[in-house]
Amino acid sequence: MFAKKFSFPRVVALTMVVSVVGCSASYQNAENGNNSTSQSASAEMLKTADGILVNNQQQFAQAAASLQPGDTLILADREWKDFEILLKGNGTADKPITLKAQTKGKVVITGLSNLRLSGEYLVVEGLVFKDGYSPTGEVISFREDADTLANNSRVTEVVIDGFSNTDKFNSDKWVVLYGKNNRFDHSHLEGKNNAGVTMAVRLNTEASQQNNHRIDHNYFGPRPILGSNGGETLRIGTSKYSLSDSLTVVENNYFERCNGEVEIISNKSGKNQFLNNVFWESRGTLTLRHGNGNLVEGNVFFGNGKDHTGGIRVINADQTIRNNYMEGLTGIRFGGGFTILNGVPNSTINRYHQVKNATIENNTIVNVDNINLAGGSDSERTATPIDSSFSNNLVINADGTNPFKIFDDVSGITFANNIASQAPQDEIASGFEIEKSDLKRGSNGLLQSAKAQQANVGAAASLKPISKEQTGVSWYPKADAPVEFDSGEVVEVSTAQELMKTIADVADGTIISLAPGNYDLNKQLQVKTTVTLKAATPRSVTLYPMRSLTFEIEDGGSLKLDGLNISGVKTPDNAGNVLIRNTKLPTLHNYKLTINNTHITDLNVNHSAHVFDSGYRSMAENLVITDSVFKNITGDVLRLDKEQDDLGIYNAEYITIKNTSFINIEGAVAKVYRGGTDESTFGPHFRMTNSKVENVGGGKRNKSGSSIFLLGVQQTLLEGNEFVQSKVITIDHTVGEPRTQILNNTFVNTPLPVVTETFAGGESTAVVAGNVSQ
């Protein structure tokens, strides 16, 4: 491919032209020296052996002549703010036109900035995009406009870190490939918090189809849970152009904790190749969503038992999936470890086309919870797979469980010469030899079977996953593990004044240890980091909120309350007091809230006093309540119902309640709302175990009329709880294949839960067993 020919010529550029959009506004902002009047635009630019060094946007814009093949333009080391760059020209294969950093990593593009390439044989390298976002819909775009594209061009060793639009659901894309024969490689993309695919290949005109792009050796760092459709990390094509071929090669990339939505990679075009990529603890799947004739080979999926980690999902015709390795994947349904989906008869271009002529061979599938065959079968998706084969695959589960789930007729798939450690269902059993596992981890880090290798079954022994260090750039640090509660230093405080001052300035992971005593909180506490408030001696501390709002979790903050008493007897005599709330502004960063061994009582000075009230367009990644007591409260305990526009957006991914009592609550224990019919997300998850609910939900302002109200929750578990003199539990299944389990609960003078199948219709799919009604 052309890109492999590229070198970085060290030449003196004689003439150049670079266009900069919006320079006049930039001239007025000289805070960072980018456009300082002391740096005259007429000053002679420095010519070096490497090229022409440009010190500010004025110099950059006033280089008036056209760039010639072999010219190199160098951006000086500094912060370049509000910088919309257009690199335009026509180089050659041997003499590309180059834009690069003076020192890789020390040219930081901030503010309202982006980069466009236009022309032939262009190269950009060494830039960092951080602390801003693109004023257009794309940060790096391989086109000037709809009619003027880049071809035979390369962007290499660039970093885009958290360069997200401040409006979480104002969708944009970070890198978009247009044209033909372009390459994006050895780059680092991390922390896209807003909606929109991280990287896309567009086929919206003939000039961008059959493009032969190459996407290789990139580090796709963590992408947090979006809580909505539109969180893919890589998409190639769209449904509208999915019957066109892209011929894009995606190889040797590393996807770490890419958790945006159910599709990590969304393939929506034909004849692409996905080769030797690694997926590390990433929720979702490599999804062959649209398009035919694609190849998935040599990829490695490490789930490490993390929730919703998936592998490969197969749809459409002529797909080849071979020599891949999948281990420790827990995903279910569309996000399973391996899934062959049902199609829609005579499907429209944007729905699900039937699986035809799929070749699935020599893959190793180890300790994977779900291999779904004819997945998604329902009244619409009735076209079962045909003319397909599943052969020479190794399927081993150390715990002896059978991972195969069969949802419809699979006679159209031929199973042959596979090895498994446990017998699958009768429909496919003839295609498997059952062998005792002899797996050993090889020098390549993968589990291998000597018996399988001798029989040419499973992935090749030579398969070697690319390491994280071999991707991205060497000069910019890759993502650390998320900061956890209680992971930092301990700061001791003994007065309310110290607490209110300290909480605003502590580092992530800090534990604020409160000496025994009473704390009158007459100021609102702003939570800006991941912080724990912990009683030095459990339950020896009482906090007295004295404001209508006590704790506000700002964007980037997370809060843990541990071993405290919180009494509302001193709160103002106002309706609608709130103990904990997100900022009312939409937030980019997901947060965590934990309440452990804490008693929260007497939030009843006036009506509608709530314990936690979620902000609009906010996402709790984890909301955990354990070993606590909530008593005498006139509002709700958890209000997670702000997203009422039915777009599939919701306010919390995981809600976990354990060993906790709720007594005399006029509102609900929890109100969780996820409207719409989109199937691109995994949550919300609601789990409540071994807890007591007494006299809850009967307040006249509780419009839900429920003690617990769950709409659109995807996974619900209510187990071992006691409900006494409380209102009904309302559960509404609205989308996908929600799983609800109501097990071994006691209901005293309380109605049994009501589960409604709004989307699918018919009888309830909830599993209800072992409950006692008195």
Angstrom distance (rounded) from CA 55 to CA 36: 10
Angstrom distance (rounded) from CA 334 to CA 312: 9
Structural tokens at position 558: 């997370």
Per-residue confidence at 44, pLDDT binned at 50, 70, 90? low
Q: Are residues 311 and 273 in the same domain?
A: no
Angstrom distance (rounded) from CA 315 to CA 290: 7
Residue 66: predicted pLDDT: 72
For 266-286, write each residue's pLDDT tens digit: 999 999 999 999 999 999 999
pTM, two decimals, is 0.91
**474 exposure class (CB count in 10 Å sphere: 0-12, 13-18, 19+):** exposed
Q: CA triplet 162, 164, 168: central angle to 5 degrees?
A: 125
Residue 379: predicted pLDDT: 85
Query: Is the Cβ–Cβ distance between 496 and 546 less than 8 Å?
Result: no
Q: Are residues 307 and 391 in the same domain?
A: yes
Cα 305 to Cα 302, 329, 741: the distances in Å are 8, 6, 22
User: pLDDT at residue 427 above 50?
Assistant: yes
Residue 70: predicted pLDDT: 93
Q: Are residues 499 and 445 in the same domain?
A: no
For 181-210, write each residue's pLDDT tens digit: 999 999 999 999 999 999 999 999 999 999
For 476-525, write each residue's pLDDT tens digit: 999 988 999 999 999 999 999 999 999 989 999 999 999 999 999 999 99
Structural domain includes residue 21: no
Domain containing residue 460: 296-465
Note if the bond before 684 is cis, omega within 30 degrees: yes
**CATH code at position 152:** 2.160.20.10
Residue that terminates a domain, selected from 246, 277, 308? 277
Residue 63: predicted pLDDT: 62
For 648-682, write each residue's pLDDT tens digit: 899 999 999 999 999 999 999 999 999 988 888 89
| Residue corresponding to tokens 């009230």 | 613
φ/ψ of residue 23, rounded to 5 = -70, -35
Structural domain includes residue 683: yes
Handedness of CA 539, 543, 549, 554 (dihedral sign): negative
Query: Across the strands, what pairs with 386?
Result: 356
For 212-262, write each residue's pLDDT tens digit: 999 999 999 999 999 888 899 999 999 999 999 999 999 999 999 999 999
CA 501 to chain centre: 34
Structural domain includes residue 113: yes
Q: CA triplet 535, 537, 539: central angle to 5 degrees?
A: 70
**CATH code at position 695:** 2.160.20
One-letter amino acid for residue 243 of the chain: L
Angstrom distance (rounded) from CA 604 to CA 577: 9
SS (H, E, C) 65-109: CCCCCCCEEEECCEEEECCEEEEEEECCCCCCEEEEECCCCCEEE
| Residue corresponding to tokens 């976002």 | 133
Q: Are residues 320 and 374 in the same domain?
A: yes
Structural domain includes residue 50: no
Q: Are residues 628 and 566 in the same domain?
A: yes
Structural tokens at position 609: 């006093």
Give counts: helices (H), strands (E), the chain: 4, 76
Structural domain includes residue 62: no
Q: Are residues 360 and 237 in the same domain?
A: no
Q: Are residues 459 and 567 in the same domain?
A: no
Residue 765: predicted pLDDT: 86
Angstrom distance (rounded) from CA 461 to CA 440: 11
Per-residue confidence at 65, pLDDT binned at 50, 70, 90? low
Q: Could you give the 3-state DSSP secondary structure of residue 129? A: strand
Per-residue confidence at 737, pLDDT binned at 50, 70, 90? confident
| Residue corresponding to tokens 């300082």 | 36
Q: Are residues 450 and 502 in the same domain?
A: no
Q: For the chain, how many structural domains are there in total?
A: 3
Structural domain includes residue 18: no
User: pLDDT at residue 19 above 80?
Assistant: no
Query: Is the Cβ–Cβ distance between 666 and 694 less than 8 Å?
Result: no
Structural tokens at position 626: 């354990």
Q: Are residues 300 and 273 in the same domain?
A: no
Structural domain includes residue 565: yes
Query: Is the Cβ–Cβ distance between 244 and 209 less than 8 Å?
Result: yes
Q: Are residues 671 and 703 in the same domain?
A: yes
**Cβ within 8 Å of residue 201, ≥6 positions away:** 176, 177, 208, 211, 213, 215, 235, 236, 237, 246, 248, 269
Structural domain includes residue 482: no
Q: Are residues 112 and 207 in the same domain?
A: yes
Q: Are residues 537 and 679 in the same domain?
A: yes
